[in-house]
């Protein structure tokens, strides 16, 4: 039996097999896409709807025209593109990559255009029940927003949780950190001591190379710093001793039995130090200071410098802080210090009051 010829179609519609496709012109480029129907009336309706979207885009170029490819993209695709973008821009820090990986794991299978604000709210609620901190959840949602923005795809309304209570109070005493260091693997001991003395982030310490040793100073290159600023650190006291010890560990034996020079100042068998949470937690447990983070060394260093009357501007230079607000988050004040401050203030007021009374009595006698 001979097939019936397909009916002719209006301009910008065409047959492809048994499905009608449409032709569009966007930003001077021809786009062809399926109308997903074989009904000419429905196909014309689809074409008019898409032409209206083209006109909206032409009137306001900021209103992105979404192609059929855009509509198929998953959030996983968006996160992959964001990761590539961060790598090209030198922003692929471990923190950023960790956030991207988490968002891809949780949302990757969902089509980007189908994500709703209700799904976001449910997600945030579920993570809060799992005791994730607001700041952590905010960083994940921020990565999600960046991916949508990069792809120029409409993003559902995101929730921003208050971080008012995001000031951790953990810090080490000198005795505590020395105990912890004593229980750490050999390759981590100088690494942790360096963090205790300087307040540097562990990612910055891990990236230090021998090429950055300049006489009696270390120069952290801008691309390795979180704030993207080069940083110079004089080697004084224990810091100089650390570098001298590390020089003795610069040579390692390669697999072929030959000795080679390691590029990293702190390393594990010649490789850059990566995640060491298990070793850290075990050392803290053995030292009796369970629950302390490596990042508490950063808070501790800032507190120690302020207690030593180091000017804040100098302390910020050493610890690589850029803003006063971020530095103040680490300027931990103990309860005993507050008690002393209140006691001293009240003693000062009593002294002033007594002096005033003596002055009044002296005038009265005269």
Residue 259's domain comprises 174-329
Whether residue 61 lies inside any domain: the answer is: yes
Q: What is the pLDDT of residues 14-58, one digit of tens each?
A: 999 889 999 989 888 898 989 889 999 999 999 999 899 888 888
Q: Mean per-residue pLDDT for 301-324? A: 76
Say which CATH number the domain at 285 has.
1.10.443.10
Residue 211 lies in a domain: yes
Whether residues 186 and 145 share a domain: the answer is no
Same domain, 296 and 181: yes
Q: Would you say residue 8 lies in a domain?
A: no
Q: Are residues 179 and 313 in the same domain?
A: yes
Closest to 189 (Cα-Cα) out of 266, 96, 75, 282: 266
181 & 314 share domain: yes
Residue 282 resides in a domain:
yes
Mean pLDDT over the full length of the chain:
84
The predicted pLDDT at position 325 comes to: 60
As a whole number, mean pLDDT of residues 238-252 equals: 91
Question: Could you tell me if 209 and 309 lie in one domain?
Answer: yes
How much is the pLDDT for 329? Answer: 58
Q: Which two tokens stand for residue 64?
A: 């992105």
How many domains does one find in the chain? Answer: 3
Is 80 a domain residue? Answer: yes
Q: Which two tokens stand for residue 129?
A: 């029940």
Q: Go through 322-353 and write b for each residue having 16 or more CB atoms within 10 A of its CB, e for each that does not.
A: eeeeebeebbbeeeeeeeeeeeeeeeeeeeee
Q: How many CB atoms lie within 10 A of CB 172?
A: 23
For residue 342, tell me if it sits in a domain: no
**From CA 38, how far away is CA 21, in angstroms rounded?**
9
**Are 37 and 105 found together in one domain?**
no
5: in domain: no
């Amino acid at each position: 039996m001979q097939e019936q010829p397909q009916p002719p179609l209006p301009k910008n519609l065409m047959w492809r097999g048994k499905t009608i496709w449409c032709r569009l012109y966007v930003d001077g480029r021809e786009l062809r896409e399926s109308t997903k129907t074989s009904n000419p009336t429905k196909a014309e309706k689809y074409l008019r709807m898409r032409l209206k979207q083209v006109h909206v885009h032409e009137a306001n170029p900021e209103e992105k025209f979404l192609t059929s490819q855009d509509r198929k993209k998953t959030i996983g695709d968006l996160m992959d593109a964001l990761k590539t973008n961060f790598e090209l821009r030198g922003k692929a820090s471990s923190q950023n990559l960790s956030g991207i990986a988490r968002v891809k794991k949780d949302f990757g299978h969902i089509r980007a255009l189908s994500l709703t604000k209700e799904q976001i709210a449910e997600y945030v609620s579920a993570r809060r029940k799992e005791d994730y901190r607001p700041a952590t959840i905010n960083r994940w949602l921020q990565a999600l927003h960046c991916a949508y923005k990069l792809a120029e795809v409409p993003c559902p309304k995101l929730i921003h949780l208050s971080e008012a209570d995001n000031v951790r109070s953990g810090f080490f005493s000198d005795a505590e950190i020395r105990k912890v260091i004593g229980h750490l693997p050999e390759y981590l001991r100088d690494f942790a001591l360096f963090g205790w003395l300087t307040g540097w982030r562990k990612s910055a310490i891990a990236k230090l190379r021998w090429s950055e040793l300049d006489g009696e100073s270390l120069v952290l290159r801008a691309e390795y710093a979180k704030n993207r600023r080069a940083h110079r650190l004089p080697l004084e006291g224990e810091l100089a001793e650390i570098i001298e010890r590390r020089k003795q560990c610069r040579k390692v034996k390669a697999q072929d039995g030959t000795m080679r020079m390691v590029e990293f100042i702190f390393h594990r068998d010649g490789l850059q130090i990566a995640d060491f949470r298990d070793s850290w937690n075990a050392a803290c447990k053995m030292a009796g200071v369970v629950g302390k983070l490596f990042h508490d060394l950063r808070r501790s260093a800032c507190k120690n410098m302020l207690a030593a009357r180091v000017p804040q501007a100098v302390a910020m230079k050493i610890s690589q802080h850029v803003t006063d607000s971020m530095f103040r988050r680490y300027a931990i004040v103990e309860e005993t210090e507050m008690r002393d401050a209140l006691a001293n203030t009240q003693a000062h007021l009593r002294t002033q009051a007594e002096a005033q009374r003596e002055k009044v009595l002296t005038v009265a006698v005269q």
